[in-house]
Structure 1
Amino acid sequence: MRKQFAVIGLGRFGSSICKELYHMGHEVFAIDTDETKITAVKDFSTYTFVGNGTDEALLEKVGIRNFNYVIVAIGDDIQASILTTLHVKDHNVPNVWVKAQNNYHHKVLEKIGADRVFHPEKEMGSRIAAYLTSDTVLDYIDLSADYSIIEMLATKKISGKTLIELDPRKNYGCTIIAIKQLDKVDVTPDPAAPIQKGDILIMIGDKRDLRRFREGEL
């Protein structure tokens, strides 16, 4: 499903998020005070705007409340990060995700209502982008620029179906290499056994094929 994202702060991490989300087919609105950084992501953004996220009038002008997600990826200026987060939350954005510089910053962001706080040194931009765009994606590991391993939650839509019926390799070009059920991991799943809602499918394949499977089956 196509979603709308605003990314405030276009350092290395914010730019990476923009590119990943844009390549996934989502609308991306990039905001930064530095026009050079805006120019660098123009080919990977739906809209761009030169401005300061701490400016409440600017956030109102760009209609920040209309976005599904706002990612505050401001660099070393912790005060600007906190103020921007406060202003975005005041506009009732349903999902506000914020980059933290350290544990102290993390705690403050949680207290002011950030919906999720992440540390870029621990989480890759592509992994976060994948998680943002789907309720069924639980984990995501890049193997290369094109291939990934991904954990996806089986939904009611495929409950009762077997691997034989789904045949993801034939229909989507990707492979289910294991299935998690509670604390058990089956690395040789029975192709005739029905999948249950809540099972975790561990899959490998081209990113585009994995996305097609997720959108087509889950």
Structure 2
Amino acid sequence: MDLWIGNKKYLSWSMRAWLVCRHFDIEFTEHLVQLDGLADGIFKQTIQSMNPVGKVPILVINDFSIWDSFAICEFLAEQFPQKLLWPQDTLERARARSLCAEMHSGFSALRSYCPMNIHADLKELGQQLWQQHADLRNDLQRVEQIWELHEQTGDFLFGKFSIADAFFAPVVMRVISYGLPTNQKSQAYMNKIIQVPAIAQWIAEAKLELTSI
């Protein structure tokens, strides 16, 4: 399998699919295409040859393309059921999927005001945004409600690391970069997330991009 992604510093959806592959030890070949910001640049041309939408991530199996992080993760869960990418309990699995769908389609204020930028110190900007935008505060309040699940189930949202944690990992990156205020329960969850080896690897490799872009 070949996984096509963009810059690790910026692209949250690439991060989600990559984390699931790496954390669950699913063999894949990584292809990182640098963003160039051009409508007809190398990035768009390369990605559109596999995905007409022109966006990453894309999982390619024998010239068959699967795009969108949620679709990729569902495919991987079906292909590798023994790896338990979703919770085993039926109701917990349904809740985990619901949370991923909410992450997938919601939190527009958090996405708009605080795009992922790993290793950038944006705390001053974050303070301004926090004061100015009630919708941003509402989004983070909802995120913190979700993260409280880890207290009920163990270190992660459903006891062990799952697709759901991978979907919220980029939010952790945003909160850290922008210095958004969080309660102690959220801080405990974020500290656990950044210690996951696959996430630590992504962060380290994103840092290396600072000298290459």
TM range (shorter): under 0.3
State the TM-score, normalized to the length of structure 1: 0.24
Q: Looking at CA atoms only, which structure, 1 or 2, has the larger radius of gyration?
A: 1
Structure having the larger proportion of residues in helix: 2
